[in-house]
Amino acid sequence: MKQLIALDINDQIYEVPVDPWDLLSDVIRKKVRLTGTKKGCEQGDCGACTVLINGQAVLSCLTLAIACQGKKITTIEGLAEQDGRLHPIQQSFVDYGAVQCGFCTSGMILSSKALLDSNPKPGREEIKRALSGNLCRCTGYKKIIEAVEVASETMSKEGVK
Amino acid sequence: MFLNHFEYFAPQAAKDALDLCDRLGAKAKILAGGTDLLNLMKDKLLKPEYLIDINNVDEFKGIFYEPGKGAVIGAATKISEIERSEIIREKYFALHQAAGELGSVQVRNMATIGGNICNASPAAETPTPLVALGAKVVISSLSGDREMPLEEFILGNGETALAEGEILTKFLLPEPISGSVSRYGYIGLRDAMEIDAVNLAVNLALGEDGRIIKQLKLVMGSVFPRPLVSEEAPEILIGKEFSAELAEEAARAASSESKPISDIRASAEYRREIVAVLSRRLLQEAFSAAQGEV
Ligand SMILES: Cc1cc2nc3c(=O)[nH]c(=O)nc-3n(C[C@H](O)[C@H](O)[C@H](O)COP(=O)(O)OP(=O)(O)OC[C@H]3O[C@@H](n4cnc5c(N)ncnc54)[C@H](O)[C@@H]3O)c2cc1C
Ligand code: FES
Ligand code: FES
């Protein structure tokens, strides 16, 4: 019962055959082969599978791929420039030691992006609240929060989205 | 984790959604945000043969307010839209507070208010404030609409008054009476992403003089299979001048009315104590805020 659907991921159209029960996380990783999106708990708790749909942070492990036709999906692979230059949020995560094992990082960065897009100058509490659905077992969160604060400054200074 | 095999429908019009519901009956499940449903399917607790995705039906979405009449909230409205709504914040503050406490940003962007109610978890965030605010639900089927108070819709843990072929389509919130204020609060084991041990909402109105309590509804969550409306707290407070002593008495009465269980999140004894603590705190907060209103 596979059906060919078109998914708009990082401004590129991918035509993929899916079954209705295929989850977006599996389709992105196994069919589109963008493996930056991670799967941790697969039940909505950890945020490792976070992607943006029409600019909003959602969990790809609880989303049916078939329901995503006609929507704009952004994964971590969509953030850097074509020439490989990192997005300011990615860069500050690297610079400020907010990445250890890296498993949570894609989700953390996408949640941060959704936050900064709607609230370019968030306070510390707002950052914590925006990232409360992303679990990190390594860093203790402090450096992640600092990295988001720095990214917020860089982005407003340079006028980056 | 895999889902069972099913056929997927994504109707655009309300009529088509109701048609599918009628035709497929008990073999179908409504898919709203999927944050409860897909988890239940992953755990093999549910194996529907059909999913009817209602996210593309515009008639089931949105927040509409008419002065003097109140608000209508579509069942498929996202929790994040309710959290951000200015009118909900202004007129139905307890619901605004509860929406902001549900899950994480991601969960709120996906989850709907109708899903929160139809899932009917005793620990859920929105039933308590909605009952306190006097919400009614509209249930639709091919044969038409029926309305009932939310108290009567939620029957128990996971049980609602929905019959086969029916969809919950709207919530009706009455215009708040003058001088009224609502507040919501909860206690869990940690701040974010926690299932509440107890949650509570009060809706309190003061008379013109700004002292006498004209109306009160106090609703407890997670201490009974469905939202529990206190009968004694209003008897103690309505018609009286607000005081810390009376609030304490009402809080104790609500606590003794609650019928919590012990589970991994909290003991029954702790929950009863928390009902008293939250009742006292929210009554005081609502009273102070209501004084500012009149
Ligand atoms: C990580 C995580 C954290 C969470 N935290 C909280 C929390 O803090 N507080 C809380 O209350 N909940 C929480 N939840 C539970 C869940 O997110 C909410 O209950 C949510 O509101 C469910 O809405 P939904 O749209 O996702 O429902 P769905 O999963 O789509 O549906 C739930 C059920 O209701 C039925 N249904 C949905 N809409 C309708 C309708 N209009 N008519 C008839 N039937 C319908 C479905 O068939 C299904 O049986 C959490 C979930 C996750 C995964
Ligand atoms: S894998 Fe989706 S939230 Fe954990
Ligand atoms: S860096 Fe390892 S989980 Fe966050």
Residue keyed to tokens 């029957």: B155
> Helices marked H in B167-262 — which ranges?
232-237, 244-257
Q: Say how far apart CA A15 and CA B193 lie, in whole Å.
A: 36
pTM of the full structure: 0.96
Give the domain CATH number at B236.
Answer: 3.30.390.50
Q: Say how far apart CA B140 and CA B132 lie, in whole Å.
A: 23
Q: Say how far apart CA B160 and CA B46 lie, in whole Å.
A: 17
Q: Residue B46, class by beta-carbon neighbours within 10 Å (0-12 exposed, 13-18 middle, 19+ buried)?
A: middle
Is A161 a residue whose pLDDT tops 80? no
Give the domain CATH number at B40.
Answer: 3.30.43.10
CA of B118 from ligand 1 middle (Å) equals 7
ipTM score for this prediction: 0.97
Q: What per-residue confidence (pLDDT) applies to B188?
A: 82
Percent of the residues in chain A that have a pLDDT greater than 90, as a whole number? 96
Cβ-proximal residues to B146 (8 Å cutoff; 6+ apart), any chain:
B138, B139
Contact between B110 and A132 using a beta-carbon 8 Å cutoff? no
Question: Which atom of ligand 2 is nearest the CA belonging to A39?
Answer: 1
CB atoms within 10 A of CB B55: 16
CB atoms within 10 A of CB A33: 8
CA of B21 vs chain A CAs: smallest distance (Å):
18
- Residues in B touching A134 (Cβ below 8 Å): 104
CB atoms within 10 A of CB B105: 24
Question: Which atom of ligand 2 is nearest the CA belonging to A40?
Answer: 1
Q: Could you say which DSSP state residue B241 is in?
A: B
Query: What angle, rounded to 10 degrees, do the helices at A142-158 and A105-118 form?
Result: 40
**Is the CB of residue A43 less than 8 Å away from at least one CB of chain B?**
yes
Q: Which of B183, B181, B233, B179 is nearest to B206 (CA)?
A: B179
CB atoms within 10 A of CB A138: 15
B254: left (phi over 0), alpha (psi -120 to 50) or beta: alpha
Atom 3 of ligand 2 has which residue's CA nearest to it? A44
Q: Is residue B81 part of a domain?
A: yes
Tens-digit pLDDT profile for residues A120-129: 999 999 999 9
User: How do beta strands B7-9 and B50-53 pair?
Assistant: parallel
B75 plus B99 within the same structural domain: yes
Q: What per-residue confidence (pLDDT) applies to B7?
A: 97
- Give the CB-side neighbour count of residue B125, counting CA atoms within 13 A: 27
Confidence of residue A47 (pLDDT cuts 50, 70, 90): very high
Contact between A67 and B193 using a beta-carbon 8 Å cutoff? no
**Is the CB of residue A63 less than 8 Å away from at least one CB of chain B?**
yes
Q: Residue B209, class by beta-carbon neighbours within 10 Å (0-12 exposed, 13-18 middle, 19+ buried)?
A: exposed
Q: What per-residue confidence (pLDDT) applies to B231?
A: 98
Q: Which CATH number is correct for A88-158, 3.40.980.10, 3.40.120.10, 3.40.50.300, 1.10.150.120?
A: 1.10.150.120
The pair of three-digit structure tokens given for residue A139, joined into one six-digit string: 């860093």
Contact between A21 and B104 using a beta-carbon 8 Å cutoff? no
Question: Which residue ranges have their beta carbon within 6 Å of ligand 1?
Answer: A 44-45; B 29-37, 39, 75, 102-103, 107, 110-112, 114-116, 118-119, 124-125, 162, 167-168, 193
At which of B148, B174, B200 does a domain end? Answer: B174
Contact between B106 and A129 using a beta-carbon 8 Å cutoff? no
B74 plus B169 within the same structural domain: yes
Q: What per-residue confidence (pLDDT) applies to B293?
A: 74
B45 plus B25 within the same structural domain: yes
CA of A83 vs chain B CAs: smallest distance (Å):
30
Q: Which of B46, B51, B58 is nearest to B9 (CA)?
A: B51
Q: Is residue B1 part of a domain?
A: no
Positive or negative, the Cα torsion across B191, B122, B44, A52?
negative
Tens-digit pLDDT profile for residues B131-178: 999 999 999 999 999 999 999 999 999 999 999 999 999 999 999 999
> Helices marked H in B145-196 — which ranges?
150-153
CA of A43 from ligand 2 middle (Å) equals 5
CA of B123 from ligand 2 middle (Å) equals 22
Average pLDDT of span B75-94: 98
- Give the CB-side neighbour count of residue B84, counting CA atoms within 13 A: 10
Q: What per-residue confidence (pLDDT) applies to B294?
A: 65
Tens-digit pLDDT profile for residues B206-249: 998 889 999 999 999 999 999 999 999 999 999 999 999 999 99
B160 plus B231 within the same structural domain: no
Average pLDDT of span B15-23: 98
Domain of residue B134 covers: 58-174
B170 plus B65 within the same structural domain: yes
Q: Which of B94, B290, B288 is nearest to B207 (CA)?
A: B290
Any atom of ligand 3 within 6 Å of the Cβ of A101:
yes
**φ/ψ (deg, to 5) at A16:** -130, 140
- Give the CB-side neighbour count of residue B101, counting CA atoms within 13 A: 27
Contact between A21 and B4 using a beta-carbon 8 Å cutoff? yes
At which of B129, B153, B174 does a domain end? Answer: B174
Q: Say how far apart CA A44 and CA A49 lie, in whole Å.
A: 9
Atom 4 of ligand 3 has which residue's CA nearest to it? A136
B65 plus B167 within the same structural domain: yes
How many domains does chain B fold into? 3
Tens-digit pLDDT profile for residues B71-81: 999 999 999 99
CB atoms within 10 A of CB B86: 10
B139 plus B209 within the same structural domain: no
> Helices marked H in chain B — which ranges?
14-24, 37-42, 79-84, 86-91, 93-101, 105-110, 113-119, 127-132, 150-153, 232-237, 244-257, 268-293
Q: Say how far apart CA B116 and CA B195 lie, in whole Å.
A: 13
Contact between A64 and B34 using a beta-carbon 8 Å cutoff? yes
- Residues in A touching B80 (Cβ below 8 Å): 56
Is B192 a residue whose pLDDT tops 70? no
B185 plus B170 within the same structural domain: no
Contact between B110 and A63 using a beta-carbon 8 Å cutoff? yes
Average pLDDT of span B202-208: 95
At which of B149, B174, B199 does a domain end? Answer: B174
**Is the CB of residue A45 less than 8 Å away from at least one CB of chain B?**
yes
Q: Say how far apart CA B104 and CA B102 lie, in whole Å.
A: 7
Question: Which residue ranges have their beta carbon within 6 Å of ligand 2?
Answer: A 39-42, 44-49, 59, 61
B123 plus B141 within the same structural domain: yes
- What is the CATH T-level fold of the domain A3-78, as seen in this structure? Ubiquitin-like (UB roll) (3.10.20)
Question: CB contacts < 8 Å between A and B, how many?
Answer: 80
CA of A139 from ligand 3 middle (Å) equals 6
Q: Is residue B114 part of a domain?
A: yes
Q: What per-residue confidence (pLDDT) applies to A88?
A: 97
b/e string for B212-241 if b means 16 or more Cβ within 10 A? ebbbbbbbbbbbbebbbbbebbbebbeeee
